[in-house]
Structure 1
Amino acid sequence: MTVTYRQPGVVLTDHRFTVPLDHDDPTGETIELFAREVVARDRVGRDLPWLLYLQGGPGFGANRFIGKQAWLGRALQDHRVLLLDQRGTGHSTPANRQTLPLRGGPAEQAEYLARFRADAIVRDCEAIRPQVTGGAPWTVLGQSFGGFCTVAYLSTAPEGLDAALITGGLPSLDAHADDVYRAAYPRVERKVAAHYARYPQDVERARRIADHLLTHDVVLPSGYRLTVEAFQTLGVLLGSGDGSHRLHYLLEDAFVRTPSGPALSDAFQEQVQGLLSYAGHPLYALIHESIYAQDDRPTAWSAERVRSEFPRFDAAKTLAGDEPLLFTGETVHPWMFDTDPALRPLRETAELLAARTGWTPLYDPARLAANEVPVAAAVYHDDLYVDTAHSLTTARAIRGLRTWVTDEFEHDGVRAGGPRVLDRLFALVRDDV
């Protein structure tokens, strides 16, 4: 059953699709996918090509736009757009602490979640494409992890693609998770240094909050235990265009005076709770490191292990001296499954995924080297989330891929400057520049 309705300037149609949980077993268990079709109101009756949007993540549903926000308005000038909630996300069959026990115990849950990577997402896309386009290839726009999925698409089913647009999402084709995080921690340190250069008053504020957390047991209203390591992960904000400013305003309102002395304010705790909780996207924590897994090596909590190679991120050692506290970036750690009540029931499942070996390859270098699909990628000069050097190495490995390397935007360029970003990428795939 489809439902059609309107928003300012657009007409929306909700779609549901049934796909195999395991595409190698098409007669076995199935799951449901949700996708939202969007067309400009003045183009409803036209025969338009399709653009499929693959959201970043993993573990996030597609953007819930109102009207023609961000990049959507530019895309709707030429296309019908399908906003897909990738398997396990958004309005698709959910995978979280409430639903995963239906699978059985941790072993069964881990086996289930191993089928939620880019390769399965691509096969989902190919399963629904004939129902959406009548069999015609479509253009794919992949943001961040959606770009990883797009490279997997080019590797396994390029016949389904008319063109591919990638924003901040060219993955390394062969790096282990350890390689990803060894490149990431120095990059995070540069972003933190830039933040403190912009807001030098935040050096003392961050140290004061960290010291408070080292000497007090702080539990947020949701039950989230706010440790100093959890506080440091707020550095993930520094990967967006306005993130440094948001972090600054968060830090400046951290403390209030109480009869018992200084305490973290309710307003600060409420904001931090919203930023740190995985209740709305638990898949991100569960399968994040597996997006880099392609061989017999386990990820084995890579971000946590590699962090020990960078002792400047140790808050206790920092506070023993006079150095600025370093925040961290896009990393998942085993202690998150203790601090976050949305993740606690899934700790054993996460451990099994971290120990898992025998991951299948996600990319086909030979097929990418022979690529014939027009591809354009926006590569951000010092992207917090995706290493620029890794992205450019991959760009050279995909035949015909054209890059736009820019320092005008951070990782969220397609949100912050969507029309300009899409204009540039469309021009590149159409050979107009």
Structure 2
Amino acid sequence: MTTRPAHKPLAASVLPVSLAVSVVAGTGLVASGGTAAATETAPRPRTTATAVASAGGALQWGDCPASVKPADGQRCARLSVPLDHVDPTGPRIELAVSRLAAGRPGARRGTLLVIPGGPGSPGLQRLAQKGPALAEETGGAYDLVAFDPRGVGGSAKARCGLAEEDRWMVTLRSWPAADGSTGANADRARRVADACARNGGAMLRSLTTADQVRDMELLRQALGEEKLSAWANSYGTYVAARYAQEHPGRTDRWVLDSSADPDPRRVAYGWLADMAKGADDRFPDFAAWAAHPDREAEGLRLADRPADVRTLVLGLAARLDREPRATAVPGAPLTGAAFRQALQSALYSDAAFPAFARLAGQALDPAAVPVLPPELSGAMPDEAAAVTVGVVCNDVDWPRSVPAYARAVAADRIRHPLTGGMPVNVTPCAFWKGGAVEKPVRLTGNGPSNILMIQNLRDPSTPHSSGLKMREALGPRARMVSVDRGGHGSYLVAAGGTGNACGDRTVTRFLLTGERPATDVLCR
């Protein structure tokens, strides 16, 4: 499929939501998926399911699939959208949509869209996990709505047909070889790109931020809302910011939680590279935790001093580079790359610290059998791998020079040893056929001043310094709440957010009253 022409907004009447039916958890650039891919040439046949989007645009709510593990009162529907928004009369696909209705209908003030991260995270599961706490925090004032973006969860899928060995997180993410070489990474990246070009078709090429924004606008129409409020997380903040740029009059109260640099020259490629700094910012929190005397009784104290924890972790990673350890998962050794990936994942939340400290202790004990974390214990489904690489490769043209990646890795391994050169290494995007589907846009400060950003100071995935770039781009439209905490995803501590009470109060006040701080603030 060739690069599509620049998209021109189409009138709502040209994009009807027709009667049709359709039926992953991820962080950063990883995901896990579910059902089989939709065909790329025609929508699936209609069924007798009750949860459908009607031709008039209204959504009909029914029971959610058991796989969603829905919260009490959570209902689900299907939304039909064009496979290619440039051709709205062509083939259609279906997206899974879900809602928790406002707990106080008489005080309802609208719909709050819960936008997941990834690319590759499912909205329905996020609503199931976060929705009850969010409803309580906001006093039942909103209908809470989420959808699985195209390619994810219960929505239409794409497939790349990747070999199993290319679908493990530690291989899909380009961790250099033990000696720092990147030749095997380049070979795998080329192989993945070739398979996606051969098997992905129009469905894979439709996995873009731009199309997710267009799908959101059709969802707004189907919900019958003049405006939407939103709480977006991680990659979802870029989706939300793009929507606010393109539909400023359709946004009400807009919360961006854990944002990355939206510079069109750094979209996707820069996000991955920034993870090296994020790990450096965040690791001292883990080091202090793992050196604290309280860990002694738990058997998780790794050293007497935080500085020694860093030395131990880096030394252990280097030892595993030389001598990988067999694990409880046959054929999945604990290598230096796997150990560094386990660390990178653990830095997302303090709640993950014990498991990583336990893994480090097992790796240090010659008699122990290390137990890999779940995300490293098996290959992700092909559909999940497809969306993981598809969005970031479709959104922007990545550098193509393999030797330049090798040089960047060599420098980054010295500058940021905790991440071992992975964030700047070659990926399938360097060999992506056809390049970007559409050129990324530059975000501006034009539009209503109704955006509140929240960002932890020590975020391992979207560093605070990257969030400041989003803040700069949005200019007078936004205010920013910086939270003196570590972890990814700040808001709503009651549902696993890694921020603090001050940050939560500030966001909740904005969602309930529209009140924001007069200037950017720091929550200590």
* Structure 1 residue 199: Cα displacement: 2.0
The 1-side partners of 2:407 and 2:493 are apart by 34
1:326 aligns with 2:326: no
1:119 aligns with 2:210: yes
The 2-side partners of 1:4 and 1:166 are apart by 30
After superposition, residues 298-377 of structure 1 pair within 5 angstroms as 306-312=408-414, 326-327=418-419, 331=423, 352-353=431-432, 356-365=434-443, 368-372=444-448, 374-377=450-453
1:252 aligns with 2:313: no
Q: TM-score normalized by structure 1? A: 0.75
Q: TM-score normalized by structure 2? A: 0.64
Q: Tell me the residue number matched to 2:236.
A: 146
Go from structure 1 to structure 2 and tell me whether the alpha carbon gap of 1:51 and 1:178 turns closer, same or farther (over 3 Å shift): closer
The answer on whether the counterparts of 2:261 and 2:271 sit within 8 Å (CA) in structure 1 is no
Q: Tell me the residue number matched to 1:319.
A: none
The 2-side partners of 1:56 and 1:330 are apart by 20
Go from structure 1 to structure 2 and tell me whether the alpha carbon gap of 1:169 and 1:190 turns closer, same or farther (over 3 Å shift): closer
Which structure 2 segments of 5+ residues have no match? 1-49, 52-61, 164-193, 292-301, 303-308, 518-524
Q: Tell me the residue number matched to 2:480.
A: 403
One of 408, 425, 428 as aligned partner of 2:507: 425
List per-residue Cα deviations over 1:334-355 (Å, max 9, x = no partner). Answer: 69xxxxxxxxxxxxx76643x6
The 1-side partners of 2:135 and 2:422 are apart by 26
1:51 aligns with 2:154: no
List per-residue Cα deviations over 1:5-47 (Å, max 9, x = no partner). Answer: 899994221111111121111122222100111125x436875
**Matched residue type, 1:154:** A
Q: Tell me the residue number matched to 2:457.
A: 381
The 1-side partners of 2:260 and 2:89 are apart by 34
The 2-side partners of 1:299 and 1:370 are apart by 36
The answer on whether the counterparts of 1:255 and 1:264 sit within 8 Å (CA) in structure 2 is no
Q: Tell me the residue number matched to 1:339.
A: none
The answer on whether the counterparts of 1:170 and 1:395 sit within 8 Å (CA) in structure 2 is no
Secondary structure of the 2:78 match is strand
Go from structure 1 to structure 2 and tell me whether the alpha carbon gap of 1:244 and 1:256 turns closer, same or farther (over 3 Å shift): closer
One of 78, 93, 103 as aligned partner of 1:31: 93
List per-residue Cα deviations over 1:123-150 (Å, max 9, x = no partner). Answer: 0011121111x14211121111111101
**Matched residue type, 1:264:** V
Secondary structure of the 1:33 match is strand
How high is the sequence identity, in percent, across the aligned residues?
17
* Structure 1 residue 369: Cα displacement: 2.2
The 2-side partners of 1:208 and 1:415 are apart by 35
The 1-side partners of 2:130 and 2:457 are apart by 30
The 2-side partners of 1:300 and 1:121 are apart by 31
The 1-side partners of 2:484 and 2:404 are apart by 28
List per-residue Cα deviations over 1:96-148 (Å, max 9, x = no partner). Answer: 45699xxx96325176433212111110011121111x142111211111111
1:81 aligns with 2:144: yes
* Structure 1 residue 178: Cα displacement: 5.2
Q: Tell me the residue number matched to 2:493.
A: 416
Give the stretch that moved more between structures: 29-38 or 109-118: 109-118
One of 350, 355, 380 as aligned partner of 1:278: 380
Go from structure 1 to structure 2 and tell me whether the alpha carbon gap of 1:75 and 1:307 turns closer, same or farther (over 3 Å shift): farther
List per-residue Cα deviations over 1:207-234 (Å, max 9, x = no partner). Answer: 4465245334757737556532232112
Secondary structure of the 1:326 match is helix
The answer on whether the counterparts of 1:297 and 1:358 sit within 8 Å (CA) in structure 2 is no
Q: Tell me the residue number matched to 1:92.
A: 155
The 2-side partners of 1:212 and 1:178 are apart by 28
**Matched residue type, 1:427:** R
Go from structure 1 to structure 2 and tell me whether the alpha carbon gap of 1:209 and 1:88 turns closer, same or farther (over 3 Å shift): same
Which structure 1 segments of 5+ residues have no match? 315-324, 336-348
The answer on whether the counterparts of 2:400 and 2:430 sit within 8 Å (CA) in structure 1 is no
Go from structure 1 to structure 2 and tell me whether the alpha carbon gap of 1:297 and 1:191 turns closer, same or farther (over 3 Å shift): same
Secondary structure of the 2:491 match is helix
The 1-side partners of 2:144 and 2:338 are apart by 37
Secondary structure of the 1:51 match is strand
After superposition, residues 86-235 of structure 1 pair within 5 angstroms as 86-96=149-159, 106-108=196-198, 109=200, 112-132=203-223, 134-176=224-266, 177=268, 179-200=270-291, 201=302, 203-204=311-312, 207-208=315-316, 211-212=319-320, 214-216=322-324, 218=326, 221=329, 224=332, 226-235=334-343
Q: Tell me the residue number matched to 2:84.
A: 22
The answer on whether the counterparts of 1:164 and 1:373 sit within 8 Å (CA) in structure 2 is no
Q: Tell me the residue number matched to 1:341.
A: none
* Structure 1 residue 238: Cα displacement: 0.8
CA RMSD of aligned residues (A): 3.9
The answer on whether the counterparts of 1:278 and 1:285 sit within 8 Å (CA) in structure 2 is no
* Structure 1 residue 188: Cα displacement: 1.8
Secondary structure of the 2:101 match is strand
Secondary structure of the 1:136 match is coil
The answer on whether the counterparts of 2:273 and 2:424 sit within 8 Å (CA) in structure 1 is no
Go from structure 1 to structure 2 and tell me whether the alpha carbon gap of 1:92 and 1:220 turns closer, same or farther (over 3 Å shift): farther
The 1-side partners of 2:492 and 2:422 are apart by 18
The 2-side partners of 1:106 and 1:333 are apart by 19
Greater share of strand residues, 1 or 2? 1
* Structure 1 residue 299: Cα displacement: 9.5
Go from structure 1 to structure 2 and tell me whether the alpha carbon gap of 1:389 and 1:269 turns closer, same or farther (over 3 Å shift): closer
The 2-side partners of 1:286 and 1:54 are apart by 19
Secondary structure of the 1:310 match is helix
The answer on whether the counterparts of 2:317 and 2:337 sit within 8 Å (CA) in structure 1 is no
* Structure 1 residue 155: Cα displacement: 1.7
